Amino acid sequence: MNCDQVRQRWELYYDSEGDSELYLQINEHIAACPSCAKWMFQQAQFEEAVTATLAASEPTAAMWQRVLSETGVARPAATRGWSFFGPFLALAASLLLFVGIWQFAPQQPAEHLSELAAVAHQQLIDKNRQVEFNSASDTEVEQYLKQRVSFPVRCPPRQDAGFEVRGGGVCSIAGDSAAYVVGQVEDKDVSIFILPAERLARFTHERDVLSREAVHHCRDGQYDMVLAKIDHNIVVVIGRGSPDRLERVVRAYGTYPHDPA
Amino acid sequence: MPKWTGPELAKPSDDRVGRFLQHLEPLKAALEAYCRRSVHDPNAVEDVLQEAVGKAYRDFHLYAEGTNFRAWIFRYLNLEIYAGNRAFRRERREALDEEPTIEEVWQHAIGEPFIERLLNEPERILSRCDDALAEAILELSPQERSVLLLRAIGQFKHREMADILDVPMGTIMSALSRARVRLRLRLAEYARERGLLGPGSLQRPR
């Protein structure tokens, strides 16, 4: 094999696509030809540099979560089960916590409440999750939610806060139940997610920022959101409304006369 | 974010979802990188991945356990990338009137003094040419781009790429050769224009 033949076949050699005879002949040639040996080294060096530049980095977790959720590939959420098995699951969860089995659970990577809220809001917008209870009455929605969750919830914000309630229900966020209220702010769909305050410990990022700020603004994809710890709840207001309007809604949560029922 | 527009998915069993995710998990980074480098519209990455994963999951019952899932799902992704790029109306013509042979392009490439300089210090130059690299890849024909990225990102063999792209092995080999040469020429030109190829690099007449 001469120099031209070696250089014409270098890709088969480099890509490990040639037969054993090819390797033998090229190896013999470059052992005796410093010029071709250098040339082959240069080709390989360049291709490896290109490969390293193009190499895959870490996948974008939030995007993949949305992709899997939207395509129905994500593991089935626990929300459907809650409507029927809710009381039993709650009892089972309480027992598990009581005996301390949770301590043996494997460590999970840190989760971001904002990302999970964005996914849940998108599911509501796309009607992938049906709103359980439809009502334009804030008091009716409040009563419904109080029957559905074991943690305290307050009356949703009203029209005087710029929020037009449309309904509510219970969904699963990070495997645990959360109440949600759907409605509109300036004709744009907005969701409010309500979790028990103690759940904040699970979301270390949000826990840290809410230890420094009373109200936290952030954005995930196309949605703005405002988070706050209010009374016994973590409240996330998310949608395409202006951040100021969303903050007004979050600040209105829990300001109405509390109905002890 | 548009909703998944494919047919309604059957209610998944835990086992089916679990098996699919088990196969998919280690490939997420490569699928995403391949998609990001392939689509003309950077805002379409998520939608393209969504369509590809949705269709692959829809057809997962056709996948034979123990066969090449990696190549199987890249085929879905590649089809979606082609469709997305066509929709973006920026795809260049697939076939040139007179494609150079592999021998011709290598003879041309090795005769370029600037290519030689590029090959001498690839890491230094590539580290300053990321945008040019991305542009050069998008300027390749769809087939050339696919084989280059499938090889670099997916580390696929020629046979696997032929299956993914549904073309003969010979087409893969010639497309990969052309892609490599064109990439080098484009990067060398870019580096020359910016004086990255050392003394005298700016004096070359255009």
Q: For A180-233, write each residue's pLDDT tens digit.
A: 999 999 888 999 999 998 888 888 888 888 888 888 898 887 788 999 988 888
A49 and A172 together in one domain: no
Beta carbons of A11 and B153 less than 8 Å apart: no
Encoded tokens for A95: 């027992």
Is residue A258 situated within a structural domain?
Answer: no
Q: Distance of CA B5 to CAs A31, A70, B51, Å? A: 58, 10, 8
Residue A258 confidence class, pLDDT cut points 50, 70, 90: low
A87 and A132 together in one domain: yes
A213 and A197 together in one domain: yes
Q: What is the pLDDT of residue B9?
A: 40
A156 and A46 together in one domain: no
Encoded tokens for B42: 């950077």
Domain that holds residue A34: 3-54
Beta carbons of B123 and A49 less than 8 Å apart: yes
A195 and A161 together in one domain: yes
Q: What is the pLDDT of residue A82?
A: 45
The DSSP secondary structure of A49-111, one letter per residue, reads: HHHHHH------HHHHHHHHHHTT-SPPPTHHHHHHHHHHHHHHHHHHHHHTGGGGSPPPPP-
With contacts defined as CB-CB under 8 Å, which chain B residues touch A66?
1, 46, 50
ipTM surpasses 0.95: no
Give the pLDDT confidence of A110-163 residue by residue, as tens digits. Answer: 578 888 888 888 888 877 678 888 988 888 888 888 888 888 888 888 878 889
Is residue A139 situated within a structural domain?
Answer: yes
A205 and A89 together in one domain: yes
Q: Give the C-alpha separation, A1 to A13, whole Å.
A: 14
Beta carbons of B4 and A7 less than 8 Å apart: no
Q: Which helix (H) or strand (E) holds A181?
A: strand A176-185
> Structurally, how many domains does chain A consist of?
2
Give the pLDDT confidence of A164-177 residue by residue, as tens digits. Answer: 999 999 888 887 88
Which residues fall within 8 angstroms of residue B39, CB to CB, at 6 or more apart? B45, B48, B81, B84, B85, B88
Q: Where are the domains of chain B?
A: 14-88, 102-193
- Write a three-state SS string for B90-115: CCCCCCCCCCCCHHHHHHHHHCCHHH
Tell me the pLDDT of chain B (206 aa) as tens digits.
444 444 344 344 557 888 899 899 999 999 999 999 999 988 899 999 999 999 999 999 888 888 899 999 999 999 999 998 887 765 444 444 445 555 555 555 444 677 777 888 888 888 888 888 888 998 899 999 999 999 999 989 999 999 999 999 999 999 999 999 999 988 888 888 877 776 654 444 33
How close does chain A come to B30, measured CA to CA in Å? 5
A140 and A28 together in one domain: no
Beta carbons of B37 and A54 less than 8 Å apart: yes
A212 and A174 together in one domain: yes
A126 and A209 together in one domain: yes
Beta carbons of B29 and A43 less than 8 Å apart: no
Q: Which amino acid is at A98?
A: F
Q: Give the C-alpha separation, A236 to A115, whole Å.
A: 11
Nearest to B29 among A59, A71, A222 (CB): A59
**CATH at A187:** 3.30.200.100
Is residue A261 situated within a structural domain?
Answer: no
With contacts defined as CB-CB under 8 Å, which chain A residues touch B118?
46
- CATH code of B14-88, in short, is 1.10.1740.10
| CA-based end-to-end distance of chain A | 91
A72-76, A250-254, B117-121, B148-152: least confidently modelled range: A72-76
A175 and A139 together in one domain: yes
A224 and A133 together in one domain: yes
A122 and A143 together in one domain: yes
Q: Are B155 and B141 in contact (CB under 8 A)?
A: no
Q: Which residue has the higher pLDDT, A195 or A82?
A: A195
End of a domain among A54, A72, A92? A54
Answer whether B14-88 and B102-193 agree in fold.
no
- CATH code of B102-193, in short, is 1.10.10.10
Nearest to B106 among A8, A56, A128 (CB): A8
